[in-house]
Structures are given as C-alpha cells and as structure tokens.
Amino acid sequence: MTIKTLLPTSSFAGLTGNPWSAKADKIQSATGLLLGCFLLAHLHFESSILLGKDAFYQVVQILEGGMFSESGHGFPLVTKIFSVFILLVVILHAAVALRRFPAQLGQWRALRRHMNGINHKDSHAWFWQLVTGFILFFLAPVHIFTMITNPEIGPHLSAERVYLDNAWLLYALLLPAVVIHAMIGLYRVAIKWGFTANRTGLRKVIKFMIIYLITIGVLSLVSYLFIGAELTTPVQPYVPN
C-alpha cells in the first residue's frame, strides 16, 4: 500500500515534494550533460591551434560546413545559429539551477558551518560548483554574445580577438571556472543517476580531466597570443598555402 492510499491528499504534499522539482532536476541534469559534452568537444576543437594554423583552419571549415560551399570556406552563420542554441541551453540550465542557490546570508552561513563541520568531499565539490556557477553567470553570456555578434573564427581572426581585442582576459577567468564547474557537474550527474557507484575512481578521473583541460586551454591561449602579436592591422583572415 502506498502513502497515497493511506493519507488524504492534503497531508502528503509536504512528504512527496513538488512534482515540478523532479522535472527541474531532470532538466538541470540533461542540460548540464549537454553543456559538459559540448565543452569537452569545444576545448579539443579549439586547441587544434596547438597543431598549427592549418589544423585549426581545417577544423573551423569542417564545423562551419565548408564542404557545402563552392569556395570550400565555411559559413559563419552556422556558428551564429549554433551559438544562439547554446545560449538558450545555458539560460535554461541557469534558470533551473537558480532554485538551489542560497538566497540569504543566513543560508550561506549555514552552508559554511556545514562545510567546516564535516569533511565530506562531495559537499566540498558541490560548494565549488556553486561558486563557479555564480562566476559563469556573468562570464559565459559575454563570450556567447560575442560569438553571436562576431562569429568569424580562424587562426588570425581568433588571435585578433584574443590578443588585439584583449579577450584573453575573459578566457583566463572563464577557462578554470567552466572546466571546474563542468567536470564536477558531470561527476555529480554520473553519481546521481547511477551511471557508476565508484566515487573514488571517478573523482580521480575528474581531477585528471580538470588539470588536462586547463592545460590544453592555457597552451591554446598562449598560442593565440603569439599569433596575435605577429599580426598587422587590418587583420587578414588566414588562407592556407
């Protein structure tokens, strides 16, 4: 016999919780999973600059559908449209995540007390996800809006943005915040939905991924800075020989 059959409707609302809450939980996990996978692909595509200008140029042409154009050059419109889609997913993810945010000073104090009182690794991870989520709230839209309004990507055009337009400053803050947030998020989704019960093993994988992704991200940024420093204005898009 279930609780529902034992109790009158009015008395089980507090016990069973709001059905919207379970739905919001699923939306948060699904959008988080999508964004986490996107970030893994994004940082790898983008760090192809480490293999040289030609490699990055080819990656961009493939992603922007260069095979469908007569000139072989991709369409920045593809980047624009995909960026709008990612922005919508980010907004949905943030909207459902907001309900978990400690809203008052008292709630923050209680969280700090709880964190100091227990040495539970997953609670600490959750705290860092909260802090990085807060940072991303401000930084991620700036980057995505730039990709919507100025979707030109390439070895020279990206280096121009990073070096001459000083986007490196944004990326230097965004990179650690988004990598930590996304990797802890993927860990929590995997545990929450029962993909694995091996927390210790998964924590090691996540720590490795955080260091690995930040390393390739920083090296890529440095590459763009070097390329950007050699550019002359007005910057001409890179054309392979």
Residues that bind ligand HEM (CB under 6 A): 39, 42, 46, 79, 82-83, 86, 90, 136, 140, 143-144, 147, 153, 158, 161-162, 167, 171, 174-175, 178, 217, 220-221
Beta-carbon contacts of 87 under 8 Å, excluding residues fewer than 6 positions away, are 141, 144, 145, 148
Q: Is 44 annotated as a binding residue?
A: no
What is the nearest approach in angstroms of ligand HEM to the Cβ of residue 123? 24
What is the nearest approach in angstroms of ligand HEM to the Cβ of residue 43? 6
- Residue closer to ligand HEM (CB basis): 111 or 135: 135
What is the nearest approach in angstroms of ligand HEM to the Cβ of residue 53? 13
Residue number of the CB atom closest to ligand HEM: 158
What is the nearest approach in angstroms of ligand HEM to the Cβ of residue 165? 8
Q: How far is CA 165 from CA 60, 86, 135, 170, in A?
A: 20, 23, 22, 11
Q: Each residue of 197-214: b (16+ CB within 10 Å) or e?
A: eeeeebbeebeebbeebb
Q: What SS3 string covers 29-50?
A: HHHHHHHHHHHHHHHHHHHHHH
- Residue closer to ligand HEM (CB basis): 162 or 190: 162
What is the nearest approach in angstroms of ligand HEM to the Cβ of residue 217? 3
Residue 144's Cα: distance from chain center in Å?
11
Q: How far is CA 223 from CA 129, 147, 176, in A?
A: 29, 20, 18
- Residue closer to ligand HEM (CB basis): 86 or 231: 86
**Distance from C-alpha of 6 to C-alpha of 173, rounded to nearest angstrom:** 54
- Residue closer to ligand HEM (CB basis): 174 or 190: 174
Q: Is 181 annotated as a binding residue?
A: yes
Please check whether residue 191 is in contact with residue 141, taking contact to mean a CB–CB distance below 8 angstroms. no
- Residue closer to ligand HEM (CB basis): 140 or 184: 140
Beta-carbon contacts of 225 under 8 Å, excluding residues fewer than 6 positions away, are 159, 162, 163, 168
Known binding-site residues equal: 42, 93, 143, 181
Known binding-site residues for heme b equal: 42, 93, 143, 181
